[in-house]
Amino acid sequence: MPLELADTDTHAQPLFSDAPLDPAYPVAMPPDPVFPGQTRAPLAHPLDEIATPAIWSRLALPLERALVTLWEALGLRAGRPSQWVAIHYGRIALNAHAWERLRARASAESADPALVEPAQGLGPRVAERIESLTGALGRRRLAQRIARAEGERIALLRRVGEIEPADLDVGELARGPLDERTWAETLVPGLGSRLRGEGESEADTGVRGALALEQRCTAELGLRLAARRTLASPALVAYLTVPERIRAALDGASHWSELAALRQERVERFAKLDVPREFLGRPRISE
């Protein structure tokens, strides 16, 4: 997988030089210092589209947790990144080095040397040899772990069908219907199938169902915050992160509407940009 060269800040940021510092929903994130390659390719529709602040804050940690789950199931050791997931101009990206390590081990293939540097030195070579010898065991564990997550997905879909957002209080709506662990388990089957080359162009039924429930709860929360005059319009709630939604539900302050409106404008600008599927560092963007 060829990767584009990293951009410097002066090249990557000119279109958004007026954007305020926003750690909760950054324009772009710095790359992993050791493994700077990133990829959007494993994320099926609609996860490959622009993630609003609400969706980014909901998925960032579960995506990392799901990738770590796959990594540990395969028994991988060396080459673990410090940053698994990032967001650039509204698009979520995974660490390309880690994904290639996972893909190669899951498929019993050699990793792309452009993404995974061959082991150098006695220690790394020994670790690589151990991984190779235990690869079949890791692939069996991976299949079992994916099957377990798929089984839990049945219970999730049943739960999703039983939740009615109108019956939840404002705090429950702000926190969201699914916790981090549930979201991570929901993501495991789809990511696991893509590791083995079985992925589809659309996210699986569990992910689609979970996203639909999140959107229904977000819409209901927006109506209630707008009725309280916390937000100028219900749609603005999508531009608040989960912690911000919780605080907005508690304090009812009007400044949340201003923050959401600024982010909405930024997301509308993101939608006009083309972001590559694979890149080093920060992506080169074009309108």
How confident is the model over 212-224, as a mean pLDDT?
A: 95
How confident is the model over 43-60, as a mean pLDDT?
A: 95
pLDDT of residue 201 exceeding 80, the answer is no
pLDDT at residue 11, as a whole number? 41
Rounded to whole angstroms, the Cα distance separating 262 from 240 reads 11
Nearest CA among 117, 111, 104, 30 for reference residue 70: 104
Rounded to 10 deg, the angle between the 53-73 and 180-195 helix axes is: 60
How confident is the model over 239-257, as a mean pLDDT?
A: 96
CB 63 within 8 A of CB 81: no
The CA distances from residue 176 to 153, 166, 169, 246, 252, in Å, are: 18, 13, 11, 10, 18
Q: Which of 71-80, 151-160, 230-239 has the highest mean pLDDT?
A: 230-239
CB 239 within 8 A of CB 231: no
| Strand order, beta sheet including 37-39 | 85-88, 91-95, 37-39, 278-280
pLDDT of residue 118 exceeding 80, the answer is no
pLDDT at residue 4, as a whole number? 56
How confident is the model over 18-37, as a mean pLDDT?
A: 90
Per residue in 164-174, pLDDT tens?
999 999 999 99
pLDDT at residue 186, as a whole number? 93
- Percent of the chain exceeding pLDDT 90 equals 64
pLDDT at residue 158, as a whole number? 80
pLDDT of residue 100 exceeding 60, the answer is yes
For the chain, state the CA radius of gyration. 20
Per residue in 122-162, pLDDT tens?
556 666 666 666 678 989 999 999 999 988 877 877 877 78
Which tokens sit at 133?
Answer: 């010898």
Which tokens sit at 127?
Answer: 């670790």
Rounded to whole angstroms, the Cα distance separating 244 from 23 reads 13
Q: What are residue 214's phi and psi, to 5 degrees?
A: -60, -45
Q: What is the mean pLDDT of the chain?
A: 88
Confidence of residue 88 (pLDDT cuts 50, 70, 90): very high
pLDDT of residue 241 exceeding 90, the answer is yes
The SS3 of residue 177 is coil
CB 43 within 8 A of CB 229: no
